Amino acid sequence: MAIRITKITGLHVDIIIEEFEDRDAAGHLNAYFAAIYKQDKEGSCRTQIGRSRIPNSASEIRREIKIGGLQAFRRLAHV
């Protein structure tokens, strides 16, 4: 069971991506969950803005955020 946390810092908000991954002894994927949060710089309150159960989908979201910033969520919301 592994939890990977990625923090993308911005000017006003930080984007936090938490990925949970569980594999068996043979290396097969049992469970996967990714949650994306927005956190203001002034406070410690996080707001969940996305989630996914598709394996490795957080890497695509991470790439979109680095390229387009928060505008990426407007594009991904319609998909």
pLDDT digits (tens, 9 = 90+) for 51-74: 888 887 777 777 877 787 767 666
Element (H, E) at 2: strand 2-9
Domain boundaries in the chain?
2-77
The model scores a pTM over 0.95 = no
pLDDT in tens, 16-61: 889 998 989 998 989 999 898 888 888 888 888 888 888 877 777 7
Count CA within 13 A, CB hemisphere, residue 12.
2
SS (H, E, C) 19-53: EEEEECCCCCEEEEEEEEEEEECCCCCEEEEEEEC
